[in-house]
Chains A and B, each alone.
Chain A
């Protein structure tokens, strides 16, 4: 009985949301990339034509993924992971440089970006390692091994100068925390972020003064006081971190990245200079906010966006695709997209929690977290909430590798989920 209706156990809500996003994404790519009359929707010289082909091929991919036995993904997760690492290493020899990043294989007329697939592979490997009965995430040596699984691909991607894709691996923090990573990591992580931002915004001295007050204030309220050296050491570490952050910003960061942070935190005191910087260094951001803002409540209508037609926003069909939504579909459409993303992520997280096997749960959680990081950074960046970081909007941005990467990521989970009632 269970065996016969297995195919009907797929979570159709996830699949529906997935296709709404991919379909709506394609409409926006069409609008952002067409010039003049559209003769052939499958034209392989146009972005929209290629993307349509990618979408159709992804359906083939989905059928393939769903027809493979669920157990395969768990059993072969290590092999998949190592193969993925190899593909990343191979880039150093065979990689093709596009826009400063060496992240592509040139397959003759087509390019493939292995980092897009590495996310799913890493998620499988992490799920596999954590679900191993031998693994205790509370132990430091296991923590180190898990970090290694995550950091190796992240580091390889960073070496290819693709900072955005590297950041995505931060998503695994949520996964590990869910699976029992000690709270101290969360606390330390939060302190680190606050410290870094304060050091940049208010300077090292002010930051350290405030930190000293907080630390000693906390220390003196404790009934059972630990050694006096502990707060001192904490402050010394904080000072070191502040200096490192400051030094990195002042001297190590390339100019364009430094400018992005300057604009994000309004670090330039001279208002005129900041305005000028916004116009020059943050040209993309300025145009992107303008395009979104021009949409108003109802938007200008499909293919009616003048800033889209005029190609005012650079890279609009890839990282800045959300600006097309903003201009042509207005608040209604943009809110709709945000809502569908939130629903998709929450649906996947919810399903993950329902899994009986830890492997499926960890993997599902990783899928939700990865989608979330993409969603957060991309839309946050386009709307000027976080500094400019190049990262695609899942299922929306143009690109075959990206689309297939997410297809694999999501549909392996759909497959695992469909199998949750089955014995393993």
Chain B
């Protein structure tokens, strides 16, 4: 038996060692790729981020150098804290808290101590930096916005978060990526490709040479410049007019689908989200849950389209042959269906199609809409036909374009109403759709696109923001027309009606001399829940238009929240923006001044006032003195 003691001990130790190896190397292994290996230092070489130009070649976004003071806590030697703080323009408390933060992160690795020094501060500091062992300056590149407009178009860049890293392994902690707008949707083109060097470290964190003689190292690829479709003059002008109002504007070039202006109000200066002030300002914008400046109303705002949708119903009715453009419908100051009644403000009388559009007659379009739905034996089939026509204009779904955000909106169809009305379904159930209320919901960009399709007499190009990418051609989806299900010949009567809107209809006061503008006003009821009571607010002011009538150069959709009549705010803005873009100069300064001095802030305050309030015609204008109007954004380089 005595022989066995050592024998068995040896075997036991062998088993214990194997178990320990299993624990260390398999169960709890830290086996990893060179990217996660902390014995290999990864040094990234960041390429220049691409510039952004507007459609006329004006530089909108460039880069600026920025200097960060970095600290490696364990290398710090005693220093004159007071003098150092003065140089950095921080106080002692800040110094201590930053140092503590850095120590908590790592004693051996550099942490940012003070970020984004100005060039001036850097110049002073650089001279004295050698006195402060353990601190060094790292140069970085920041965005430089050469303009104060287009924050919602251009977007911004910020540090990647953990989700971004999980989604795309290209990004490493501390990398910058586009967070909104063009910076986001064209991030991979603008950023280029960073180069990487793998360097073998030793245990003292010193570099001891390239890992495998640089076998895996890569060179950076420069970011590409892009040209966007925005006309910065028009964009600036639209943003200027929208001051003290909320809403969204999209202006398109019908012949290409290029977005000439994309305005979301309220907005902010894109430079607010650069550098040292970014996080403070971003938090401020993010926390404004009432005005929502980060919410891109022109793309994400979903509204009932209101009367402009009557154009859609006209086209469908003509295409389906349920009404001719000359047939007259009599309006009894409203439309009676069953035992219900839908009122009409058009004044009553006999209307053909163009007069119906011109006067925005509810009775006319209710008649047309019912006929569309009742053409097949079953209204469910009718709604499907109607829905497919409307969807062919890009409504009710994502436009599948190159913008960072979007909304589907809604064009109800057979399936939708099957859920809502499982038992029976008649055309009268959905009569509100005839006038663009009810279940029909669109975004400004969808409505602008619909207008562009009408301007083109039957087709559209997917609205897009990119005009050209250095050394690349645009994808086919932006250069091939998409045809609607409406024949070309049916557009003329509708366009004729839209022209009359300007000549003698709801927008007759907004004509531009020598320019044939086709438009359509909209006034949309809307509600909010205040203390669990559904409360009506002042109607949204909506306008769609294109000009000139032949060979249209611009098509736009304007939503002004709680602006009441379509012609009151939206129509005026449309008229001015068309004049600005087509004629390049503004003749009606009075109209411009009216818009600038009339604020809707009082309307927006109402639901939060906690008191009963009046709406629509009982409201009063809030006029602000001309001195308080913000000047036209300086669109020349600052």
Known: A335-B18, A369-B6. A293 touches B24 (CB 8 A): yes
Determine if A331 and B26 form an interchain contact, defined as CB atoms under 8 angstroms apart.
Answer: yes
Of chain A, the residue at the smallest CB distance from B203 is: A312
Determine if A306 and B14 form an interchain contact, defined as CB atoms under 8 angstroms apart.
Answer: no
* A: number of interface residues (CB 8 Å): 48
Picked from B5, B6, B21, B200, the residue with its CB within 8 Å of the CB of A334 is B21
- CB neighbours of B13 from chain A (8 A): 342, 372, 375-376, 380
- CB neighbours of B11 from chain A (8 A): 342, 346
Determine if B2 and A177 form an interchain contact, defined as CB atoms under 8 angstroms apart.
Answer: yes
CA gap between A69 and B178 in the complex, in Å: 83
- CB neighbours of B24 from chain A (8 A): 289, 292-293, 326, 383
User: Among residues 378 to 400 in chain A, which have CB atoms less than 8 Å away from a CB atom of chain B?
Assistant: 379-380, 383, 385
| A214–chain B nearest beta-carbon distance, Å | 23
Residue B211 interfacial (CB < 8 Å): yes
Of chain A, the residue at the smallest CB distance from B14 is: A342
How would residues 1 to 42 of chain B score, 1 for a CB under 8 Å from any chain A CB and 0 otherwise?
011011101110110111011101110111110100101100
CA gap between A307 and B3 in the complex, in Å: 42
Known: A296-B29, A310-B202, A372-B9. A331 touches B3 (CB 8 A): no
Determine if A372 and B25 form an interchain contact, defined as CB atoms under 8 angstroms apart.
Answer: no
| B173–chain A nearest beta-carbon distance, Å | 20
Determine if A349 and B25 form an interchain contact, defined as CB atoms under 8 angstroms apart.
Answer: no
Residue B201 interfacial (CB < 8 Å): yes
User: Among residues 274 to 300 in chain A, which have CB atoms less than 8 Å away from a CB atom of chain B?
Assistant: 287, 289-290, 292-297, 300
Determine if A178 and B21 form an interchain contact, defined as CB atoms under 8 angstroms apart.
Answer: no
- CB neighbours of A46 from chain B (8 A): none
Picked from A290, A309, A368, A375, the residue with its CB within 8 Å of the CB of B6 is A368
Residue A153 interfacial (CB < 8 Å): no
Picked from B17, B30, B203, the residue with its CB within 8 Å of the CB of A314 is B203
CA gap between A380 and B16 in the complex, in Å: 9
Residue B420 interfacial (CB < 8 Å): no
User: Among residues 21 to 80 in chain B, which have CB atoms less than 8 Å away from a CB atom of chain A?
Assistant: 21-22, 24-26, 28-32, 34, 37, 39-40
| A325–chain B nearest beta-carbon distance, Å | 10
- CB neighbours of A349 from chain B (8 A): 6-7, 10
Residue A108 interfacial (CB < 8 Å): no
CA gap between A358 and B24 in the complex, in Å: 42
| B559–chain A nearest beta-carbon distance, Å | 59
Known: A293-B25, A295-B25, A346-B10. A306 touches B2 (CB 8 A): no
CA gap between A296 and B28 in the complex, in Å: 9
Residue B208 interfacial (CB < 8 Å): yes
Residue A174 interfacial (CB < 8 Å): yes
How would residues 78 to 104 of chain A score, 1 for a CB under 8 Å from any chain B CB and 0 otherwise?
000000000000000000000000000
Residue A345 interfacial (CB < 8 Å): yes
Determine if B29 and A342 form an interchain contact, defined as CB atoms under 8 angstroms apart.
Answer: no
User: Among residues 306 to 334 in chain A, which have CB atoms less than 8 Å away from a CB atom of chain B?
Assistant: 306-307, 309-314, 326, 330-331, 334
| A380–chain B nearest beta-carbon distance, Å | 7
Residue A254 interfacial (CB < 8 Å): no
- CB neighbours of B28 from chain A (8 A): 293
Determine if B10 and A342 form an interchain contact, defined as CB atoms under 8 angstroms apart.
Answer: yes
| A321–chain B nearest beta-carbon distance, Å | 15
Known: A178-B2, A297-B29, A372-B9. A306 touches B21 (CB 8 A): no
CA gap between A9 and B202 in the complex, in Å: 50
Determine if A383 and B6 form an interchain contact, defined as CB atoms under 8 angstroms apart.
Answer: no
- CB neighbours of A326 from chain B (8 A): 21, 24-25
Nearest 7 Cβ contacts at the A-B interface = A296-B31, A306-B39, A342-B14, A331-B25, A310-B39, A312-B203, A174-B6
Q: Interface on B for A, CB 8 Å cutoff?
A: 2-3, 5-7, 9-11, 13-14, 16-18, 20-22, 24-26, 28-32, 34, 37, 39-40, 200-203, 208-209, 211
Can you list 25 residue pairs at the A/B interface with Cβ under 8 Å? A178-B5, A180-B2, A293-B24, A293-B25, A293-B29, A293-B31, A294-B32, A295-B29, A296-B25, A297-B25, A297-B29, A297-B31, A306-B40, A306-B200, A310-B208, A311-B203, A326-B21, A331-B22, A338-B14, A342-B10, A342-B14, A345-B10, A353-B3, A372-B9, A375-B13
